[in-house]
Chains A and B, each alone.
Chain A
Amino acid sequence: MKRLITILIVLGFSGLAFGQNEESKPKDKAVWAPFESGYLIDNQTTVVPTAKTLEYIIQHKFGTMDNGFSDLFGLYAPGANIRMGLTYSVIKNLQIGYGITRLNMYNDFSAKYTILEQTRRNTIPVAVAIYANIGVDGRNNEVFGENYKGSDRFSYFTQLIVGRKVNDWLSLQVNTSFTHYNKTDSLIDHDKISVGINGRARFSPQSSILFQYDVPLKIKGIAEHREFTNPSKPNLGVGWEIRTSTHAFHIYVSTAAGIIPQHNAMFNQNDWMDGDLMIGFSITRMWSF
């Protein structure tokens, strides 16, 4: 695991060695479009849409592909997961959002703030953003067992994202996140720290390949049990992004069934090494005011 963390850090910051190709201007401005969208498969990017932009997103994940043609690689499998959400960029680099997900009927309230934007002449070599959300499990009270309290429904996710547009076609991000669930099953911890790497490789003016790899860590220091029982598994994703003036389209294959990040960090039992992959897509629509 230490080796993996080292690789993530080295990859994330190795971009510092590459210069941007943009010609110098008297004022060092932010780099052009490090990512085309605020979303990257199951992750967030450091990008926040222009101030006063309202964005609607529909995210859809089908079933796992392991049944092959019998359910058309999961497209007709039961249990598809859907999230609909709205975000609004209140001011430059600050976005707030709300969404509702079919799985566990999560209602999530989120905020993202881009603290630093990478600049063309490397005055600021990386973009830094912080993303946080509060999830509220919307299922019936009985799901939470005895001694139910309203606070049992709450989960929290905070993520620090560091990204760099390495060159015109490649942008990379590393992230670290902390997840907390107020209530989990007795053998599952309440807290989880994760790390991840993701990025996009542009291959045409409007299209890019996306990838993500998120790794929930097994850290004894924050564990509540001597052994990890069914620890959550990494979430691999590869996709294709198409961007138009008002839309971003993602079609992808990924491991985790959840859409909000704390669910994937805490509960994902799908293992891409076992072929647990599912097709998904996201569509965003933006309105600028």
Chain B
Amino acid sequence: MKNRIFAIAVLFVGVFALLAFTVPQEKKKGGPWEIPAEYKSMENPYKGDASLDKYGKQLYSKHCRSCHGNEGKGDGPKARNLDTDPGDFSDAAWQESVSEGELYFMSIIGRDDMPNYESKIVDDEERWAVINYVRSLKQ
């Protein structure tokens, strides 16, 4: 009897250990964004406007930080509850791969886990202030 219990325990621990190595621990990446052409070609009228920096930071702290983290690395306290990886804004390669308009669409229009912020950040200047701040997180 004791041997049988020992065998079951070993089996249980073994299966658990095996699962720990085989079940993916990372969140799945979101698929490619389908961004309308009107957004892809959108220009940022406030690009380089330093007067928006502090407001961009405030808005980022209020609306984005809980998921995207202080430095935009996707490690905010709510990130663990998301189905998909929120990405890493500090990644220079990613930053260079998205245009201003694409970033606007991703940030304000959103999809799935990423909420729509059109009704929460209503002013266009505020929206671009957030985007400018996200750009500043590139390392």
Contact = CB atoms under 8 A, between A and B. Distances in A.
B62 A243 contact: yes
> Which 4 pairs show the lowest CB-CB distances between chains A and B?
A288-B119, A205-B61, A23-B51, A245-B63
Interface string B86-115: 000000000000000000000000000000
A53 B121 CA distance: 12
Contacts of B127: none
Contacts of A28: none
A52 B57 contact: no
A205 B57 contact: yes
Interface residues of B, number: 18
Given A29-B125, A206-B62, A245-B63, A289 B119 contact: yes
A285 to B, nearest CB: 13
Given A50-B122, A53-B119, 7 more contacts: A22-B51, A32-B58, A50-B119, A50-B120, A52-B119, A204-B61, A205-B57
Interface of B: 49, 51, 54-55, 57-58, 60-63, 65-66, 119-120, 122-123, 125-126
Nearest to A33: B58
Nearest to A32: B55
Q: Is the interface of A mostly helix, strand, loop or mixed?
A: loop
A288 B120 contact: yes
B125 A245 contact: no
A193 to B, nearest CB: 37
Contacts of A22: 51
11 contacts: A21-B51, A29-B125, A32-B58, A168-B54, A205-B58, A205-B62, A206-B58, A206-B62, A245-B63, A246-B120, A288-B120
A244 B120 contact: no
B1 to A, nearest CB: 54
Nearest to B66: A244
A245 B76 CA distance: 14
B131 to A, nearest CB: 16
Contacts of A289: 119
Interface of A: 21-23, 29, 32-33, 50, 52-53, 168, 204-206, 243-246, 288-289
Given A23-B51, A32-B126, A205-B57, A245 B62 contact: yes
Nearest to B67: A245
Contacts of B123: 29
Nearest to B118: A288
A287 B41 CA distance: 31
Contacts of A243: 62
Contacts of A32: 55, 58, 126
A244 B115 CA distance: 14
B97 to A, nearest CB: 27
A288 B121 CA distance: 10
A244 B62 contact: yes
A63 to B, nearest CB: 33
Contacts of B49: 23
Contacts of B57: 205
B114 to A, nearest CB: 13
Contacts of A33: 58
Instruction: Pick the most buried of B55, B58, B63, B65: most chain A CB atoms within 10 A of its CB.
Output: B58
A33 B51 CA distance: 15
Nearest to B58: A205
Nearest to A52: B119
Nearest to B125: A29
Contacts of A21: 51
A23 B48 CA distance: 13
Contacts of B66: 244-245
Contacts of B51: 21-23
A141 to B, nearest CB: 45
A204 B54 CA distance: 11
Contacts of B58: 32-33, 205-206
Contact of A206 (B61, B122, B126): B61
A29 B125 CA distance: 10
